[in-house]
Amino acid sequence: MKSDDIKYEPISGREFPRFSAIKTFFRLPHVPVDADYDVGLMGIPYDGGTSYRPGARFAPTAVRQASSVGRGYNWARGTHLWSSLRFADIGDCPTVPVDQKMTYERIEKFFGQLMKLNKRFVSVGGDHSTTLPVLRALHKKYGKLALIHFDAHLDTYPAAWDCEYHHGTFVRHALVEKLIDPKHTLQIGLRGPLVDENDLKVARDYKIRSTTVDDIRIGGLEKFIAGLPNFDESSKCPPTYISFDIDCLDPSCAPGTGTPVPGGLTTYETQRILRALKIQNLVGADIVEVSPPFDHAEITALAAVDTMFELMGLMVQKKLR
């Protein structure tokens, strides 16, 4: 089939019931990386940077399966994804499960190709260590990026077992390598115990805005949303990247993750926050740390699908009703 003949919309649920057919993200067409789509949906099946519960390498497959129940119309935004942009499943990024250095090289090369093709994307990891090489590839095209980071953890932690690169270090390295602009970095959903106060040092030194679940619950969701910064020209904001660690959600909403932390956000709260974000140039996003072996009844995978839907909605962002 020629690229011009591809219909960038899901296969019909009346022709193939949602439990059938080959699984792709949202039942959208699977196309080559250089096809004529606007936003690529893809997987990064790697969890070699995980320090506790492995299994995130299986997330792209699980989220594809769960996304069979997805739809295209965003009721809150009043927009339809398939009518607004051409979304497609572009497969998985190549990885090497036993070698992190080689995996980083392959991720950076893969996303570098997307940048040369002027593509935007939403990826499903993979553990959070995979975000760093993605940011490196984007930085070569866009320079410093704004970062919106949903997570239970700061991810500014030091090396572990003398290993600099693991799933809790990507923000620290992104700051040191000047991949992201600390003035336009926002962390949402932080909580839980730390080793000691030094764990806060990097965030404080770079003066990034790190918000906790208490900032949402004690002051109230509406007040928190009203205080969100704008990521647009009015704030002189660079192109924006969103990294969504599923463990920002409470384990009751996302049990299948590598390092669960009680006291987290609900899926409703993250929906509302994502819908409230004002982003002029969202160039990419990821969802990481979904670990299917620890999931139950696809609870976590469905939360990832819902997040993916909202991130795709941000790609076609319009004023909410």
Span 16-32, mean pLDDT? 92
Whether 78 is covered by a domain: the verdict is yes
Residue 197 in this model has a pLDDT that exceeds 70:
yes
Average pLDDT, stretch 276-291?
A: 97
For residue range 75-97, what is the model confidence (pLDDT) as tens digits?
A: 999 999 999 999 999 999 999 99
pLDDT at position 321 is 34
* CATH number (domain holding residue 130): 3.40.800.10
Q: How many C-beta neighbours within 10 Å does residue 65 have?
A: 15
pLDDT at 317: 72
A 10 A CB-CB count for 17 gives 10
| Position 320 in a domain | no
Q: How far, CA to CA in Å, does 321 sit from each of 66, 79, 191, 275, 283?
A: 28, 10, 32, 11, 24
Q: How far apart, in whole angstroms, are the C-alpha atoms of residue 180 and residue 175? A: 6
pLDDT tens for 200-243 read 999 999 999 999 999 999 999 999 999 999 998 888 899 999 99
User: Residue 284 is part of which domain span?
Assistant: 3-315
* pLDDT score for 4: 59
- Residue 16 binned pLDDT confidence (cut-offs 50, 70, 90): confident
Helix axis angle for 59-66 and 299-315, nearest 10°, is 80
Domain count across the chain: 1
Sheet harboring 120-125: ordered strands across? 87-92, 39-44, 120-125, 282-288, 240-245, 145-150, 180-190, 209-212
Is residue 260 in some structural domain? Answer: yes
Q: Is residue 321 part of a domain?
A: no
